Amino acid sequence: MKLINRIPLIWLAVIAGWLAIAPILPEPHLVEKLRMLTTGTLVRPIDIFDLLLHSVPLLLLFLRLPGWLRARR
C-alpha cells in the first residue's frame, strides 16, 4: 500500500477519470467491456486487455482514497 500512497492523487484521479470515459462516443470502452463481461462475450485477448487498461486506474484510485482520507484527519 505504501507504493499506491506515493502516487499523486490528482494525477491518479485525472487518469482514472479520463480512461473511465474514453472514448466518449459512441460509448465508453469501460461500459462496453463490462457489458461484454456480464453477457459472457468478453473472450478475445484484446478485449480483456482493454478492460484492464480502462479499469486498473479506477481500482488504484479506490485503493488510494482511504489512505488519503485517513491522512486528512
pLDDT surpassing 80 at residue 56: yes
pLDDT > 70? residue 62: yes
Work out the pLDDT band at 25, boundaries 50, 70, 90.
Answer: confident
Cell matching residue 26: 459512441
Residue range 4-25: mean pLDDT, rounded: 87
Q: Domain range holding 55?
A: 2-72
Contact 7, 64 (CB under 8 A): yes
Q: How many domains does the chain have?
A: 1
Give the separation between CA 28 and CA 67, rounded to whole angstroms: 29
pTM of the prediction?
0.78
